[in-house]
Amino acid sequence: MGVMQQNRRNSILLGADNNALVWLIVINAVVFVLISFIKIIYVLTDAGGLPQFYAQVLDWFTLPAQAGKLFTRPWTTFTYMFTHESIWGLISTLLWLWGFGYILQDLAGNKKIIPIYIYGGLAGAIFFVLPFYAFPALRAHIDTVHPMIGGGAAVMAIAVATTAFAPRYRLLPMLHGGIPLWVLTLVFVAFDYATVASADAGTAVAHLAGAGVGYLYVKQLQKGSDPGAWMINLAHWINDLCNPDKKYNKPSIKQQIFYKATKKPYEKVSRFSQQRLDEILDKINEDGYSSLSSDEKDFLKKASKEDF
């Protein structure tokens, strides 16, 4: 494996800088730990047990189907997609999120996965509530519907977006040419709908809406428009606001002029610039391999055969 490929893999997987996939996994895990800790307190103390825990804590994070209740806690359209009560529900979400998110982030860069996750979750929230008011037969049973919880719709958006972005992508290419990505997607969809089959119609429609958002997002990317660019710009603005000295940390032009000899005499120098390699790897990490020009791809191909 060449130096370029090793650096790229480490950068995406470990993502020392702003790895969006890692952030999503960490947020889901932290929220689960906090809710579980509070749940244990309710069970082991005189706080009221599980009924009070659901009413006083969990209901404020999960998405209710009743519009009147939703209007009193609108933030649940966002918090529900990061909330899990069951450890198995969390593990399932994180495994599928990592599986599809790793591929998407490797191909499309760091800037797409969080917007797709959030858009998919928001679409799921809308279409979870909508069927109960669009169909009178469902509305008659709305009071018995359990709130929606978990990142199912959001992960569905990422799964479909990944498949639409790279329909010819293959897993484990060393096994007779590899397994097409769409096969994994079908397995995920079958597993997901088998899980929600016993739930209400709103949950199934919500996951379908998440899939639709993932597909439409990629189609917009292919047309040259990025619906999630404003989220990234907002995040950068907040980051700069919280770190006012960050923008001034870059070295000045004078500091970048190498007027002092620092290399040893007769030291072997690579034909390829390490600085340019780093810049291209950063570009891959941010925008994906497909964003490179033909010259940059040619540079990486040659650099992968060079020992730095």
Q: Does any domain span residue 285?
A: no
Chain segment 206-262, per-residue pLDDT in tens: 999 999 999 999 999 989 889 988 888 888 788 778 776 655 444 444 444 444 445
> What are 215's two structure tokens?
């597909």
Contact 106, 169 (CB under 8 A): no
**Whose structure tokens read 């706080």?**
47
Report the CATH number that the domain containing residue 220 is assigned in CATH: 1.20.1540.10
Whether residue 275 has pLDDT greater than 80? no
* DSSP 8-state symbol, 151: S
Is 286 inside a domain boundary? no
Residue 241 lies inside a defined structural domain of this protein: no
- Tell me which residue of 288, 283, 280 sits closest to 3, measured CA to CA: 280
Higher pLDDT among residues 3 and 181, named by residue:
181
Q: Where are the alpha helices (DSSP H) in the chain?
A: 3-14, 20-44, 49-56, 67-72, 76-79, 87-108, 113-134, 136-139, 152-165, 181-196, 201-222, 229-242, 253-256, 274-287, 294-303
- Which pLDDT value is given to residue 199? 67
pLDDT at 237: 83
Residue 144 has what pLDDT?
83
Question: From CA 285, how far away is CA 304, in angstroms rounded?
Answer: 17
pLDDT for position 14:
43
User: pLDDT tens-digit profile of 23-75?
Assistant: 999 999 999 999 999 999 988 887 678 889 999 999 999 999 998 899 999 99
Give residue 22's domain range.
Answer: 7-233
* CA distance to 19, 28, 67, 124, per residue, from 155 (Å): 17, 12, 24, 11
Are 285 and 11 contacting, i.e. CB atoms less than 8 angstroms apart?
yes
In a domain, 165, yes or no: yes
Three-state DSSP at 203 gives: helix
How high is the pLDDT of residue 272?
A: 58
Q: Does 124 reside within a domain? A: yes
Query: Which residue from 109, 49, 96 is spatially nearest to 292, judged by alpha carbons?
Result: 109
CB-count exposure of residue 241 (10 Å: 0-12, 13-18, 19+)? exposed
Q: Does residue 202 sit within a domain?
A: yes
CA of 266: how far to CAs of 103, 258, 261, 263, 269, in Å?
A: 43, 18, 12, 9, 9
The HSE-up count of residue 42 (CA atoms within 13 Å, CB side) is 17
Assess if residue 80 is contained within a domain: yes
- Residue 295 has what pLDDT? 76
Structural contact between residues 166 and 221, judged by C-beta atoms closer than 8 angstroms:
no
Q: How far, in Å, CA of 113 to CA of 105, rounded?
A: 7
For residue 234, what pLDDT is reported? Answer: 86
Tokens for 173? Answer: 């290419």
Q: What is the C-alpha separation between 129 and 293, in angstroms, rounded?
A: 45
Answer whether 299's CB lies under 8 Å from 272's CB. Answer: yes
pLDDT for residue 252: 46
Taking only the tens place, the pLDDT of each residue in 98-146 is: 999 999 998 888 889 999 999 999 999 999 999 888 888 878 888 888 8
Residue 9 has pLDDT above 90, yes or no: no
d(CA 188, CA 184): 6
Reading the block at residue 89, the tokens are 């529900």
Structural domain includes residue 65: yes
Residue-wise pLDDT for 153-191, tens only, equals 999 999 999 999 998 898 887 777 788 999 999 999 998
Contact 170, 107 (CB under 8 A): no
Count of the separate structural domains present in the chain: 1
